[in-house]
Structure formats: C-alpha cells, structure tokens
Amino acid sequence: MFDKKIRPRRLRISENIRSLVRETNLSVKNLVYPIFVVPGENIREEIPSMPGCYHLSVDNAVELAKKISALGITSVEIFGLPEYKDEIGSSAWDKNSPVQRAISAIKKAVPELVIVGDVCLCQYTSHGHCGKICDGYVDNDETLKLLQKVALSQAEAGADIIAPSDMMDGRVAAIREILDEKNFSNVIIMSYAVKYASAFYGPFRDAADSAPQFGDRKQYQMDFANSREALKEVEIDLSEGADIVMIKPALAYLDIVSKVREKINNPIAVYNVSGEYAMVKAAAKNNWIDEKKIVLESLTAMRRAGADIIITYHAIDVAEWLK
C-alpha cells in the first residue's frame, strides 16, 4: 500500500499549478540563430537538407537580422562560404569575405544584436580540414597562428563573441592573447570546448561546403564514447580564458551537459546541430511528429540538463511560438 498523503499528481492538476512549480523555462533570450552568408547580392537560396534555412548574401542577411531582432532574438552566429579556397584557408581572415562584411553590416544595422563569429578553417581550406596540413596531418601549432588571424579579423569587423570550433589544443589561449594585444579585451570567447566527431554535422557540411576531402576529423574532434574527456577539455579551455563553454551536438549529449553543469560556474552553451534539426524537419514534413511540441520539449530538455544558451536553427520558429 502506498502512503495516500503523498500524491505528486496534486502538483500537476492544472496548467497554472504546473507553471507555478516548473523548474526550467525556455525563453527566446536563451537562443542564438545561425546564419549562412555567401558571396554575391540578392541571394536567398534554401539549403536542401536544412529546410527553412537559407544561403544569404550580405544584404539579405542584414534584412534577416532586423527581422529576428524584432522577434526578440538577441544573438546570431555567422557562418560563411568564401569566394575562394586555398591550402591554408586565407579567405577566413580576408576582411572582404562574406563573414566579415556580414558582421560589419549587421552591427551597423542592428547594433544591439549580439554577434557570434564562428572561428574555423574548414569552410575556407581546399582540403576541408579545420587547420593547416603538414605531412598529411593537421598541424596544431601552425594552425593556432591562422586561427588568431581569423579571430582578430572578426573582432575588427565587430563580433561581440568569438567562437572557435576547430578543436586545436591551445586555441583559446592563442585567441585571448591576440585579442588582448589588439585591444579587444572585452570580446568574449565562447569555445566549442566539447565538440564530438559527430555524424550529426552532415547537413551543415553540405550547407557550408566544408566536408573533409580526405579522412575525417577524428584526430581533433572528440570520440563520442568519452565523457571524462569532456570535463578535461572544459577545464583546459576555462584555464585558457574561455568565458562560455559549448557542448556540441546537443540532444545525444545531455549527459555531458549535466556533468559539466555540476562542475563549473561559467555559462554553458549547447549547439542543437544541423542533423538534429534535419531529422525533426523531415519527420514533421511527413506529419509523423508534431514539430512545435517536439522542438519545445527538446530545447527545454537542453535547458533542464544545464544549458544557459542554445544555438539552434529553430530559433525563429520558437520566437514566434513563444510570443
């Protein structure tokens, strides 16, 4: 027999009672919306594997930034396709590249919008790896010098937050050093501290034309079988000066989010990545799931696990749903 005094169901009796005792809330203020910018003008092409997301030229990216700011979204992350690629990814720090132009133009048009710059080389290198190749291997320390250039060029363009996603050792320290040296000591570093080598990035690599042309990223991105290693990566990045740490992907990694949450006092971001988005979109298109309910449940679960910030392609829809 159970003790009839104790009935957890009492606290579920109506929506207002439930909302009174709700432990976690999802707000549009927690969200960052990723934008893909491309060379050219007046371009707006839907990305086939990411329905609802577009390749935008800078002019259209600015228009979108105004729209999403009006919806209450406070932050965007800028990804880009360059005009040219080479062995070392030099278009990544070209101030005339779409990313740098988009950062400046959005900052000018919507100054209050927080701009995150993704710092990596894979979209810009001819081989699609996230660093400089020396003897067939992505050379860590040579890559750091290039990442410093990318971070600096994005800070100069007006980025508020620099988000290195390359997974080289020591890149947070290298980026902090160059930013401080060039008087950008208030530019925030949100490191992709815990980034797994994941098949969930598939649609993004189509969108960003950034798939490695040989091999894979397992020599720098983390093995998805590991969780202690995540704590180690977070510890290292914080000791190098990261302000916010990110865990990526999100849904299959909420155990990691929860473990990191227990250990640190810095803000945590999660990246609800392209493959997670594409699966929801495909199932919803077939009417197999209720898209709105699935998305709100998933994003709330990320918050419950301990994420403060969620980078998500669903941000615009969520902003509309939560209005």
Residues found near ligand PBG in the complex (CB under 6 A): 118, 120, 122, 130, 165, 201, 204-205, 210, 273-274
Nearer to ligand PBG, 17 or 68 (CB): 68
Query: Is-contact 237 245, C-beta < 8 A?
Result: yes
Nearer to ligand PBG, 81 or 120 (CB): 120
List 85, 107, 132, 248, catalytic entry: 248
Smallest distance, Å, CB 195 to ligand PBG? 7
Q: Rounded distance, CA 300 to CA 302, Å?
A: 5
Q: What are phi and psi of 129, to 5 degrees?
A: -90, 165
Q: Rounded distance, CA 164 to CA 186, Å?
A: 16
Largest distance between two CA atoms of the chain: 73
Task: Label residue 246 exposed, middle or buried (CB < 10 Å: 0-12, 13-18, 19+).
Answer: buried
Nearer to ligand PBG, 176 or 248 (CB): 248
Query: Is-contact 26 300, C-beta < 8 A?
Result: yes
Smallest distance, Å, CB 2 to ligand PBG? 46
DSSP element (H, E) containing 33: strand 31-38
Nearer to ligand PBG, 130 or 231 (CB): 130
Smallest distance, Å, CB 28 to ligand PBG? 20
For 138-196, what is the HEC assignment?
EEHHHHHHHHHHHHHHHHHHCCCEEEECCCCCCHHHHHHHHHHHCCCCCCEEEEEEEEE
Smallest distance, Å, CB 27 to ligand PBG? 22
Nearer to ligand PBG, 6 or 310 (CB): 310
**248 counts as catalytic:** yes
Task: Label residue 34 exposed, middle or buried (CB < 10 Å: 0-12, 13-18, 19+).
Answer: buried
Smallest distance, Å, CB 323 to ligand PBG? 25
List 85, 195, 259, 281, catalytic entry: 195
Residues labelled catalytic: 195, 248
